Structure 1
Amino acid sequence: MAESYLRFFLKKSLKNGLSVLFQKNFAIIFLFGILLQYYISPSTQPKMSVSFWINGIKTVMGIGVVALLVKNYRFIYCVVVMLPRDIRGAWRFSRVLKRIRWADKRNLTVTKIFDLYADRNPNKICFYYEDEQWTFKQVQDMSNQVGNYFADKGFAKGDVVALFMENRPEYVIVWMGLNKIGVCAALVNYNLRLQTLLHSFEVVKAKAVIYGNELSEAMQELMEVENLLSTIPLYCSGHKNGPILKGVLDFDSEISNASRSTPKRLRDMTINDSLFYVYTSGTTGMPKGAVVKQYRFMMAANGIHYMNCVRESDILYDSLPLYHMTGGMVGIGQALLFGTSVVIRRKFSASQFWKDCIKYNVTVAQYLGETCRYLLAQPPSPEEKLHKVRLLSGNGLREELWQEVIDRFDIHQIGEVYGSTEGNCNTSSIDSKVGAVGFIPRIFYPLLPMTLAKVDEKTGEPIRDPESGLVVKCQPNEPGELVGKIIKNHPIRDFQGYTDDTSTSKKILRNVFRPGDYAFRTGDILVMDEFGYFYFKDRTGDTFRWKGENVSTTEVEGIISTLLGYKDNVVYGVKIPNTEGRAGMAAVVGSLNLDKFASGIIKSLPAYARPLFLRVMDTMDITGTYKFKKIRLQDEGFDITKIKDSLYFLSGGKFVPLDRDLFDKINSGRIRL
């Protein structure tokens, strides 16, 4: 592998740099070098002798090197200037890999490593939650109870249990306990409802569902249309002696008498085993289950720990969804893999953020997408300067807000991270470069198994070289889709895929770096500058991002079609000034009952997936293959000056007419979205 990369690198060097010597300028350089040697050689040296030609060739080579330096001076300058960053980054990344090798050599899994810390510091606080304090010993004991209980119930390695719960320590404890016996929890988004929720249970073939009491209403709605109890057992956690749905088991009571000893099956678990399932929405429609291996979790947690210098003595604030990579892997992983205390909050609150940081003596806090904008939208308060937070880590911080966050909140370091749970392309910022989601050393760019591929802006498909058939790679400052070479069984470069083969195949690109290879498509458009910094630009395809979540237009279109009796409709994302991502907008053909439609949308879709804008049309253009044309609709957005159709805005649970006054308020930011 290394030899092939070396040959590839030398080939590129010859093509891009040494062409000065061996292509059209060779004759000029050669003649100039020989003439120069002729005039500078000593008068005593015979002209055209062997020694003369040897010295002449040396002169030619010297001139060639100078020419090469002149032609590539900017590249060399960038490499030299960024050398301290690149050395620091390489050293930190080597520690990430060393930690993985350490776990692999000792046959350690996530829960085995946690047990090492729990045995060493049993009384240290593992989780802070509201007014509760959970020690490492308490977490260890309860996770053992969960594992032993389900082992006694006949659950075996490879089985799946759906976990549908809002943030709290028990959330982490449940999936830990299940995995101690080889059972994988499927971390279901707690915003899902009805058909989408049912699909999330079914797609992973869950053999049981554990849900939080706070989501009893959502479960009851689902049970009214689907008899879940006839197929799988349901457990309710956290009802605290309150009412419980008929036929549902009391989870807390059920596990209370289980053994607190380490489950015997834990010793059979390896670093290559599955840890849990997460869900991701793409262009294929409903949520797709993606398996997370032990080493993938370790990579996510190790990355921030070493690249951003998180310490065991830190206290980390995690108010992000625990079903999400940032909150549930990067954040929680600091407690499980490094013994760092973590504060868990049920849901993010901009008004309580800095107050919590002071209350719990937080030193590292996480953000995701719009959360930093929500913090900036809060009135100034003393707490935003009195905290001890030195590092904000996460992803989705808009470039225009970056410096304001640093200045207003007195934050010394921003640890922006790029990556996806199931993907194999991950980068991180280590020097708080404004707007950068990560970097790679420019000098090693041709050697790395990831690249930016040029894509057709309309189709979203990669542009290929007509001769080689390989993808065309972007030059610095050219936008392209980030793709990563798939290397099977590699802890970083492998792609595990989803629970269905169709969704998996759509994320795989063939013939990228060389004929016959495979690469993972991130679906994200990034730009790399001349210093090797990466900047996020947009998402490809129909999927758009809003409120830190990916929204599948196919899924939303299907639900709208059902609500409106299969009327023609399309869903797309529209840009709103001064907001991150794109808000949902639906275009519908024909008349409709706006109040009934709004009620159906709110009941069927999580908040981030609901279309905020509605366009009612008489007809809709289609292609020759009977696909709706979205490009014109996306370009027009919700601009009332360009659109003659009726436009509406979702406000207060109803669709209200979008007039000039409302349009201006939305664009100026006077209405919080």
Structure 2
Amino acid sequence: MLCPLLLGLLLSALLFLYIRFPFLPQDCAFALRTLNLGRLLARFGSRSPCFSTLDRFAEVARKHPDKLFIVFGDERYTYRDADRISNRLANALRDRSGQIVALFHGNAPMYVFTWLALAKLGCTVALLNTNIRSRSLVHCCECSGAKTLITAAELVPAVLEVLPSLRQQQVSVLMLSGEAETHGIINLTNQVSCASEEAPPISLRQHITMKSPALYIYTSGTTGLPKAAVVTHEKVWMMSFLQRLSGVCSSDIIYICLPLYHSAGFLAGLSGAIERGITVVLKSKFSASRFWDDCREHNVTVIQYIGEVMRYLCNTPERENDRQHSVRLALGNGIRAETWREFLRRFGDVRVCECYGATEGNIGFFNYTGKIGSIGRVSAIHKLLFPYAFLKFDPEKEEPVRGSDGLCVEAAPGETGLLVAKIHKLAPFEGYAKNSTQTEKKRLRDVFQRGDMYFNTGDLILADRQGFLFFQDRIGDTFRWKGENVATTEVSEILLMLDFIEAANVYGVTVPGHEGRVGMAALQLTDGMEFDGSAAYEHMKNLLPAYARPRFIRIQEELRLTGTFKQVKVQLVQEGFDPNSTRDRLFIMEENQQTFVPLTEEIFSAITAGRTRL
């Protein structure tokens, strides 16, 4: 009699818990998987040298040497092929052992082989954005401390522009492909082809620990120049585990069209694929028109995205075979709820695993429930191991709200707040290479008690009453467009090089039907001069990557400043590019005419109605 009663009570308790906490089983399961990965990471770190993603690659190459590793167009490379080629590269680069080396190269198998070779030599690799030019390119080498720059033949013209500056920094430039000899650039093609395929001795990386820098990955910053985020071997592993957490298995095939110089493409994509021991279909760049045909041709089962990728796919003309593919999983970040729904409607039952994190950050979230629009959930275990909070934020002062005691105030449940994460042993913030000023700016002190220190993500997050998290906005002087972070100060400095511009205030504005924010610049003209749309277009085209060029211009008599001489952006952002919201003259970039033309109400209506795309 007692047993049925106890069983009934137990079932009633379980039913109550399920009704009260419907996601508790998933929360617990995810917490257990995360704890298991933590134990695995600790075991990797106990070795000397530590067990890195390179060691995992070598392990797969030994166990499955003939497994296809990289597909790139008509090129095919097994794990054995990649191991042998990277050994030759490493032996040709042997005199660079233990150095910091900058890699300035587009997506290609040689990119992967070169990174593997440098890892075998115990090098730290700085992954340079292929869009950077002139002083940004020089700066990236300087702040990382790289004394060697490895580039591809197609990027040699960009390197030649700054070769004298690189020489002043004693940076040697190497090219590992192509036949042409270029003055000042060493072509190692012959040395590589003649080099040994024997693996370099492990003693070359004997010094490496989990806390050693593995990579420098660049992010845009308020300084106007890229910042080199320090990515340790521990961070590489943590990002690599995203595929394992998503359920990727050894039989999967992943499609990577995101740039490998980004943490998404390199860490969550490439190194995650190595951790799983799977095949990578690598593309030089994203193409919406080729995307699904590629997936069908190569039997792709896992795709990687950023919000823009999914929107571009949804904007392609509908086809009868939209659902005829093998893709079962999409892993990435930045997809809006409406795009998510449209993607599922168009392309079928694909599991979307939305993540949240930053290259330099010490906090991340993972949407393991499939809740559309969410970046993850508030978990008690997660919060215990990696303390974080959402703070009330003052958008005018652009800083957290503090109480009378000088400490920060937490946002209420259901209220948008600034996400901050406590800096401690389990969640370190490594900062930026040779940039103590910007590193310190990301540290928020005296948050909940005197002397504590948190990482300021700069992101506004909404935690609803069920514990789901939703990304709201990005604060500060950086906005995101076309999947890239745009530093407004850098763009402003470029604009100020034009003699007819006295002052510039760059910001991002939302456009209906587009992810992120498009660039807009409020300009104060030099006395007695007029705005020259053609000169501005040519200037931006030469000095700024396409994603960073302001598409809208607003001419003001005088730029508004705060009492502390900071440019006011809030009202400008709110007014956007609507001609009816201001009497100021507005212009829009017209690429066909290679100039800026007046922004009329007709053009504005066409953009907001979706008839004109940006």
Scaled by the length of structure 2, the TM-score of the pair is: 0.92
Which residue of the partner structure matches residue 167 of structure 1? 107
Partner of 2:475: 540
C-alpha spacing 1:623/1:530, structure 2 compared with 1 (3 Å): closer
Preserved contact between residue 79 and residue 442 of structure 1 (Cα < 8 Å):
no
User: Aligned equivalents of 2:397 and 2:223: distance in 1?
Assistant: 16
1:104–1:402 CA distance, 2 compared to 1 (3 A)? same
Letter in 2 for 1:206: A
Partner of 2:342: 404
Assess if the C-alpha contact under 8 Å between 1:86 and 1:440 holds in 2: no
Between structure 1 and structure 2, the one with the greater Rg is: 1
d(CA) in 1 for partners of 2:169 and 2:413? 58
Pick the aligned partner of 1:559 from 480, 488, 494.
494
CA contact (8 A) 2:219 2:229 kept: yes
Post-superposition offset of 1:565: 6.3
Tell me the distance in 1 between the aligned counterparts of 2:380 and 2:146.
Answer: 45
Q: How far did 1:229 drift?
A: 8.1
Q: Does 1:305 align with 2:239?
A: no
**Does the aligned pair in 2 maintain the 1:279–1:290 contact within 8 Å?**
yes
Preserved contact between residue 102 and residue 150 of structure 2 (Cα < 8 Å)? yes
User: Are 1:405 and 1:411, in contact at CA under 8 Å, matched by a contact in 2?
Assistant: no
User: Does 2:361 align with 1:423?
Assistant: yes
Q: Does 1:286 align with 2:286?
A: no
Deviation at 1:79, TM superposition (A): 5.5
Asked whether the 8 Å contact 1:358–1:383 carries over to 2, the reply is no
Residues 342-351 or 213-222, more deviating:
213-222
Residue equivalent to 1:119: 62
The residue that corresponds to 1:81 in the other structure is 22
Matched residues in 2 for 1:429 and 1:162: separation? 34
- Cα separation, 2, equivalents of 1:335 and 1:612: 37
Task: Give the Cα–Cα distance (whole angstroms) in 2 for the partners of residues 494 and 651 of structure 1.
Answer: 46
CA shift in 2, pair 1:325/1:80, >3 Å: same
Q: Which amino acid aligns with 2:143?
A: V
Q: Secondary structure at the match of 2:394?
A: coil
SS at match of 2:249: coil
Report whether the alignment pairs 1:315 with 2:253.
yes
Structure 1 residues 229 and 352: alpha-carbon distance in aligned structure 2, compared to 1, 3 A threshold: farther
Any idea what SS the aligned residue of 2:198 has?
A: coil
Corresponding residue of 2:462: 527
1:272 is aligned to 2:215: no
- Correspondence list, 1:58-97, <5 A: 80-97=21-38
* Cα offset, 1:628, TM superposition: 2.7
Q: Answer yes or no: is the 8 Å Cα contact 1:453–1:481 preserved in 2.
A: yes
Q: What is the alpha-carbon distance in structure 1 between the residues aligned to residue 613 and residue 191 of structure 2?
A: 44
The counterpart of 2:89, out of the listed 127, 130, 146, is 146
Alignment of 1:136-285 (within 5 A): 136-151=79-94, 153=95, 155-157=96-98, 159-223=99-163, 226=165, 228=167, 231-239=170-178, 241=179, 243-264=180-201, 265-285=204-224
What pairs with 1:333-344 in structure 2 (closer than 5 Å)? 333-344=271-282
The alignment partner of 1:351 has SS state of: helix
Instruction: State the one-letter code of the partner of 2:423.
Output: I
Q: Aligned partners of 1:632 and 1:335: how far apart in 2? A: 45
1:654 paired with 2:592, answer no
Aligned counterpart for 1:350 among listed residues 279, 288, 299 = 288
Aligned to 2:42: 101
Tell me which amino acid in the other structure corresponds to 2:400: P
SS in 1 for 2:327: coil
1:625 and 1:482, CA in 2 relative to 1: closer, same or farther beyond 3 A?
A: closer
1:26 maps to none
Q: Is the 8 A contact 2:501 2:523 kept in 1?
A: no
Gap change, CA 1:442 and 1:112, over 3 Å in 2: closer
User: Gaps (5+ residues) in structure 1?
Assistant: 1-74
CA distance in 1, matches of 2:101, 2:500: 34
Q: Which residue of 1 aligns with 2:537?
A: 598
Specify whether residues 446 and 454 from structure 1 end up closer, same or farther in structure 2 by C-alpha distance, changes over 3 A only: farther
Distance 1:376 1:518 in 2: 42
Task: Give the aligned partner of residue 360 of structure 1.
Answer: 298
Indicate conservation of the 8 Å contact 2:243/2:273, yes or no: no
Q: Which residue of structure 2 aligns with residue 42 of structure 1?
A: none
Confirm whether residue 495 of structure 1 aligns to residue 432 of structure 2.
Answer: no
Match in the other structure for 2:409 = 472
Q: Post-superposition shift, 1:176?
A: 2.1
Q: CA 1:604–1:386 in structure 2 vs 1: closer, same or farther (change >3 Å)?
A: same
Q: Distance in 2 between matches of 1:164 and 1:78?
A: 54
Please give the per-residue CA displacement for 1:145-191, whole angstroms capped at 9, x wherever unaligned: 2333222x2x242x221111111121122122112222111101111
Contact 1:82–1:531 (CA under 8 A) maintained in structure 2: no
Q: Which secondary structure state, in structure 1, belongs to the residue aligned with residue 254 of structure 2? A: strand
| Distance in structure 1 (CA, Å) of the matches to 2:453 and 2:20 | 29
Question: Equivalents in 2 of 1:525, 1:574: separation in Å?
Answer: 17
1:407 partner amino acid: R
What residue is the counterpart of 1:510 in the other structure?
A: 445
Q: Does 1:580 align with 2:518?
A: no
Letter matched to residue 56 of structure 2: I
5+ residue gaps, structure 2:
1-15
1:374 aligns with 2:312: yes
8 A Cα contact 1:78 1:531, kept in partner: no
Letter in 1 for 2:339: L
Question: Alpha-carbon deviations, 1:17-48, whole Å to 9, x = none?
Answer: xxxxxxxxxxxxxxxxxxxxxxxxxxxxxxxx
- Matched residues in 1 for 2:415 and 2:66: separation? 53
Distance 2:28 2:166 in 1: 59
What is the CA–CA distance in structure 2 between the aligned matches of 1:384 and 1:377, rounded to whole Å? 12
- Secondary structure of the residue aligned to 1:562 is coil
